[in-house]
Structure 1
Amino acid sequence: MSHGTHNAVHDPRNDNIRIYINGELFPRDEARISVFDSGYLVGDGVWEALRLHDGVLVFLDDHLDRLWQGAAAIGMDIGMTREELTQKIWQTLDANEMHDHVHVRIMLTRGIKKTPSQDPRLTVSGPNLVIIPEYKKASPETASKGIRLFTSTIRRGSPDYLDPRLNCHSKLHEVQALIQAQEAGADEALMLDIHGFVSTCNATNFFMVKHGEVWTSTGQYCMNGITRGKVIEVCHENGIPCLERNFSLFDVYGADEAFVTGSFGGLTPVTHVDGRTISDTVPGEMTRRLRKLYKESIAREIQKSNAGG
């Protein structure tokens, strides 16, 4: 079995989930979409992934902000309000009787084309909406063992041709980076920006720790991670120096700790980068502290939601 930040504990209930497609719910093995879908044909669409904890869609507003911003960036009319999309998410969760430890994937594409083409004018339907909810708990082994990164030669792109902050369906360069890392014997890929500074990973955001300071990239060339933002936020709230700055592999190889962030896995320790040991203690002291603070921020979000705030 592969090892990485998206490893999940097996849950047989996922065999019988119902998936939302454009207003209808389908059993998992019957969920289909047209081969003329814009996302399938040319990767034309945006997506989000969020967590259901204790009956609360955690940081929902942040995820919806990112989804609407992504749709605006590609000139796509989502065709519904935030409230209507939220209702459809809950319709799907309720149909599956889901309450906790659920990962929700929302995929929106421009719609069905009348013929294979990039041209959005050839779209003959409204947007296609797919919602996939799964029972997914992050693997405790990954959280305790950590992951190994390999620096890919595939760079994070410039904002003038494919802004790295855009959560779009076009992920081929990230797949290429991951394959390169796996072929090098690592779990996932570390990616540099166009200037050679550390940017992000293929599916998560990267942080390093040095002399009590937490470093992450400037944000100009990395994924617009919700969890990344929350970690920066809890650092500021708790007096932990957190620097959004340019830094290179020179700095990473001398780091005291490193970790990656994502909505599914939270904070995952990094043990090695390019074969070099970063930390023998997994997780490191700062990673452990920030993991606790991040979990507390989720608990506050749940409490706030349950109180009607």
Structure 2
Amino acid sequence: MDNVEAMVNVDGIVSALARATIPVMDRGFLYGDSVYEVFRTHEGVPLFLNDHFDRLENSARLIDMNISQGRAELIEEIRSTVAATGATREDPLYVRYQITRGEGPMDLYPTPGLNTRYVIIVKALPSWNEEFYSRGLNLAIPQVRRNPVNSLDPNIKGGNYLNNILAVSAARNMGSDDSVMLNREGFVTEASNSNVWFVIDGQLATPSQGNLKGLTKKHVHRALQEAGMESSESDIHVNELHNATECFVTSATRDVMPCAALRLEDGTCLKFPTGGGEITRQTHDVFSSYLQAYVKNHRNESLV
């Protein structure tokens, strides 16, 4: 991956990461007024590309943003940015594409009819600390609560991440790797930028409320169903976590990552099997096979 140069595309202008700029009056910079998606490639194939665009367009609808660029145009711009990196099919890539509402007056109210700006970042896929897979993440529940759904819909994958930043910062200060956020009623929502799963009383479940509809989560459910394994989405109260025997997180860049410990607000530390328990390991293996089949069936979408 040493041959992959990180490149950025801002409204069709492709440049090296260190030289890329956007105007200071851009609303994405000023107010976090933007939506975005992140996917990775495997053997050149973008994972779940259409799903990512569906979610991007839904995020835009939820904030009343009309995207000026069409899906086909954005895919071609992503493709040209990938080409500029020098990547081959053997190079797994991290691709982030962001749509800002564009430039307008310095006013919170978004002037109707602004032309949206796109920013595409392509770089080599970062490697997670191997201990996160062999040992597992250490998670913590901070005092920071997830924004209420009627305040900021978690299905807006947008550029304002202060809630998540405060949560993960608090968790790091507690000596953990990442946070698990509760809502105001004490129900589990999600980790700072991934979905969280638990095995409770032998049943695999992930929270149903207050979290982003994760695409990896969606496809893990589908992979498990195809493999004849059960999983569900349900309300999980923090008090139920004392009965949890396994825990893992899922995201576009992590796949299935086991959790070794979860520190509760009262200082109690729940321990989980090193490297994941039986159901976590099965889920990891099932999803890995599912991804291999997906890539095989979507070779025609390769960006390289």
Asked if these proteins are the same fold (TM beyond 0.5), I'd say yes
Q: Is the 8 A contact 1:46 1:108 kept in 2?
A: yes
Q: 1:201 aligns with which of 172, 184, 191?
A: 191
- Which of these residues, 31, 50, 53, is aligned with residue 42 of structure 2? 53
Partner of 2:19: 30
Matched, 1:97 2:90: no
Query: 1:136-189 CA distances to partner (integer Å, 9 max, x unpaired)?
Result: 143223221211111122222222220012101111011011111111111111
CA distance in 2, matches of 1:126, 1:112: 8
The residue that corresponds to 2:153 in the other structure is 163
- When residues 307 and 39 of structure 1 are mapped into structure 2, their CA distance, relative to the original with a 3 A threshold, is closer
CA distance in 1, matches of 2:61, 2:270: 42
Deviations 1:71-127 (A, max 9, x none): 11111111122111111111111121223311101111000124x22121188x521
Matched, 1:284 2:277: yes
Residue 294 (structure 2) pairs with residue 305 (structure 1): no
CA distance, structure 2, for counterparts of residue 55 and residue 78 of structure 1: 26
Q: Is 1:258 matched up with 2:247?
A: yes
Checking the alignment, whether the CA contact within 8 Å between 2:37 and 2:52 is kept in structure 1 is yes
Whole-Å separation in 2 of the counterparts to 1:261 and 1:74:
26
Structure 1 CA distance for aligned equivalents of residues 107 and 189 of structure 2: 33
Code of the residue aligned with 2:62 in structure 1: it is A
Moved >6 Å (runs of 4+) = none
Pairwise CA RMSD:
1.9
Moved more, 57-66 or 79-88: 79-88
1:111 paired residue among 102, 112, 115: 102
Whole-Å separation in 1 of the counterparts to 2:199 and 2:273? 14
- Which ranges of structure 1 fall in alignment gaps of 5 or more residues? 1-10
Q: Deviation of residue 12 (structure 1)?
A: 4.9
1:189 partner amino acid: S
Please give the alpha-carbon distance, in whole angstroms, between the structure 1 residues aligned to 2:270 and 2:110: 48
Equivalent position of 2:55 in the other structure? 66
Contact in 2 for aligned 1:166/1:224 (Cα 8 Å): no
How many Å separate the matches in 1 of 2:254 and 2:167? 20
Give the CA deviation at 1:239.
2.5
Which residue identity is paired with 2:169?
Answer: I
Identity of aligned residues (%): 28
2:243 alignment partner, SS class:
coil
Q: Which residue, out of 207, 219, 237, partners 1:248?
A: 237
The amino acid of 1:31's aligned partner reads A
Q: CA deviation at 1:132?
A: 0.6
Q: Which amino acid aligns with 1:104?
A: V
Corresponding residue number in structure 1 for 2:125: 136
| Gapped regions of structure 2 (runs ≥ 5) | none
Shift of 1:231: 1.3
1:150 and 2:140 aligned: yes
Secondary structure of 2:256's partner? strand
- Whether contact under 8 Å (2:7, 2:123) holds in the other structure is no
In structure 2, how many angstroms separate the alpha carbons of the residues matched to 1:91 and 1:214? 41
Matched with 1:296 is: 289
